[in-house]
Amino acid sequence: MSRRHVASRRIVDVVLALVAMVLVVLLVWSMRDGLAIAAVLVGCALAWVIVMSGSITVAPEDTRSEATERTLRVANNTLTHLRGGLTAENAQALCALLLPETSARAVAVTDTKEVLAYEGELMTRYVPGSKNGRPTIEVLESCRMETFDSVDLEGGPGAVLRARPASTGGVGIIVPLLVQERAVGTIKFYYRRDLDIDRTQLAIAEGLGTLLSTQLSSYELDRQAELTARAEIKALQAQINPHFLFNALNTIASFTRTDPTKARDLLREFSLFYRRTLENSEKSLIPLSQELEQTRRYLRIEKARFGEDRIVESEHVAPGCEVLPVPSFLVQPIVENAVRHAMRDEGALHVDVQVASDGDDILIAVADDGLGMTKDVADRLLASASEPRPSSGASTRGTGMALRNVAERVERFFGVGSGVEIVSKPDEGTCVTLRLVGARKTLGAVGVRGHE
């Protein structure tokens, strides 16, 4: 190899090292800020750099290209199996996928307590379901990749390696799987001899560990986001429902003497409303038809309270949109805000719910002809959870929290560009529009065609 070629490779090594440092910083930053997609992309890039840096000085150009293709292929395949977290089923699929990608004779995946899965030809007493051995525990505690002459040493004080058949693999690499700098498991690569563990195998093992850790972190971020969304729904219910609860019970009580039949019907409607509220709060997404039916139940109870002629509702849903999966408690809070804050002392409040498509987006609009508000107040509603009562008479206290909660969940489920828009004029009314970016694409299975 010429000096010029050697110098070029050294430059490449330095560049790869610098790129790796930058990617590590980006990975930590994206995971800390909860940017799941960015974390996955950076993790994949970091895994590729690690694999390339390990193979660049020992492999020709076609081998390095092979390593790149291998890393990208593994990244795509493992992501599918890690979307559900580190389970025994997912771990077994990972072992089967990763074994052909290395020179190891066997691969195992563990969590913090036991072996979840094993794949390979070497004999081991650490079968799925058995407790982790001492080397695995050491890696879990140190959060560092290690090589061991006896991968299957038993745990506990004074543990010694039992005699094993000649076909048993005791040499290997154990790589921690990290989520937020905490080990949640390991991946173990078994080899027949010490000589089988070269620089390339170490680089591949480290790269795969980084890749899997990133994907597990992404899953954990998604899981935490879902838990947060559910908590937000319950918080929103706690903020709005007590007001509605007491008024509904008082309304039902008032009918027990004057109209017992209506009181019984209202009590049944009220019971069903709260049952659906509790059921939907445990679900990430529900069909739009269920959310609209829950909104109609709410309005039936409110019409009993204020009078049938005080609230006039209308609804139009473009064909097929009724099956659109949406976060629960999405439309009803907006309608409830209209009833609570837009109704005049006299006359009817007209509430119109429209669902239509705009290209690939779905629009859900709730319009009323009530008190309305100024543009400044409307803008503050989207930026603040609580604002003082404006001079126009439309209260903003509590309304901002409901709308901001809805806006945040819309953006979380439907992506950048999704959100809430408010158009309002004092004494003329308000229209709140939810834009669900790309939601129309999910309706292909129900045959929605054309621009509704």
| Inter-helix orientation angle 199-258/3-32, to 10° | 20
φ, ψ of residue 99 in degrees (nearest 5): -55, -45
Where do the H-state alpha helices sit in 33-60? Answer: 36-55
* Beta strand residue intervals within 57-197, DSSP E: 106-111, 115-120, 146-148, 171-179, 182-191
- Which residues contact residue 74 at a Cβ distance below 8 angstroms, ignoring those fewer than 6 apart? 97, 98, 101, 208, 211
Distance of CA 128 to the CA centre of its chain: 29
Express each pLDDT in 61-113 by its tens digit.
Answer: 444 455 556 555 665 665 565 666 778 888 888 888 888 878 888 999 999 89
Q: Is 139 exposed, middle or buried (0-12, 13-18, 19+ CB in 10 A)?
A: buried
Least confident of 26-30, 104-108, 283-287: 26-30
- For the ranges 169-178, 182-191, 278-287, the maximum mean pLDDT occurs at 182-191
Express each pLDDT in 313-323 by its tens digit.
Answer: 999 999 989 99
Q: What is the Cα–Cα distance from 337 to 22, expressed in whole angstroms?
A: 48
Q: What is the DSSP letter of 123?
A: B
CA 113-116-120 angle, to 5 degrees, is 130
Beta bridge partners of 3: none
- Average pLDDT of 288-309? 92
- Higher-confidence position of 87 and 173: 173
Q: What is the Cα–Cα distance from 105 to 197, expressed in whole angstroms?
A: 11
φ, ψ of residue 103 in degrees (nearest 5): -90, 5
- Average pLDDT of 177-182? 83
Q: Is 336 left (phi over 0), alpha (psi -120 to 50) or beta?
A: alpha
**Pair 297, 272: CB distance under 8 Å:** yes
Q: What is the Cα–Cα distance from 413 to 84, expressed in whole angstroms?
A: 18
Sheet of 361-368: strands edge to edge? 311-317, 349-358, 361-368, 429-436, 419-425
User: Which amino acid is residue 427, in one-letter code?
Assistant: D
pLDDT score, position 289:
94
Express each pLDDT in 115-162 by its tens digit.
Answer: 999 988 887 777 888 898 888 899 999 999 988 876 554 443 333 333
pLDDT score, position 50:
62
Beta bridge partners of 360: none
Residues 3-221, CATH architecture: 2-Layer Sandwich (3.30)
Domain residue ranges in the chain: 3-221, 259-446
Domain spanning 259-446: CATH 3.30.565.10: yes
φ, ψ of residue 113 in degrees (nearest 5): -120, -35
Q: What is the Cα–Cα distance from 410 to 434, expressed in whole angstroms?
A: 8
- Which residues contact residue 315 at a Cβ distance below 8 angstroms, ignoring those fewer than 6 apart? 292, 296, 352, 353, 354
User: For 66, what's the count of Cα atoms within 13 Å in the CB-facing half-sphere?
Assistant: 10
- For the ranges 197-201, 306-310, 389-393, the maximum mean pLDDT occurs at 306-310
Express each pLDDT in 416-447 by its tens digit.
Answer: 888 889 999 999 999 999 999 988 887 754 44
Q: What is the Cα–Cα distance from 223 to 215, expressed in whole angstroms?
A: 12
